[in-house]
Amino acid sequence: MNIENTQSQMRKGILEFCILSVIRRGEAYPSDIVEEMKMANLQILEGTLYPLLTRLKNADMLTYRWVESNSGPPRKYFSLTEKGDAFYKELQQTWMELSNGVNAVTKTKENN
């Protein structure tokens, strides 16, 4: 029961939302995503990102196309499917409700 562990627990399910959000703004390949997340102070590791993208693709939320790179191997560029877009909107709603709920329970005079 340490903070590092709790931090990764808190990430569960939320990363999915963030990643869909990044891809939703335009085709992206894994390193793009890591970069955008880092800019928002949300680190995500490759060992987390790759399996997550695979899950989302298998669930028909994402598609990808191979794009040649001039500095290394080809890259998978991901984009949202219609289903993925619909799912994203549900996640958005879910996050808002959760976030409001947590703030309601914890942000009370006595706790500040």
Partner DNA sequence: ATTTGGTACTTGGCAACACATAGTACCAAA
Partner DNA sequence: TTTGGTACTATGTGTTGCCAAGTACCAAAT
Binding region for a second copy (CB under 8 A): 1, 3, 6-14, 16-18, 21-22, 24-25, 36-37, 39-42, 55-56, 59, 61, 87, 90-92, 94-95, 97-102, 104-106, 108, 110-111
**Identity of the residue numbered 81:** T
Question: Closest separation between CB of residue 8 and a second copy, Å?
Answer: 8
First to last CA, the chain: 23
Tokens matching residue 29: 């390949």
**What does the radius of gyration of the chain's CA atoms come to, in whole angstroms?**
16
| CB-nearer residue toward DNA: 20 or 109 | 20
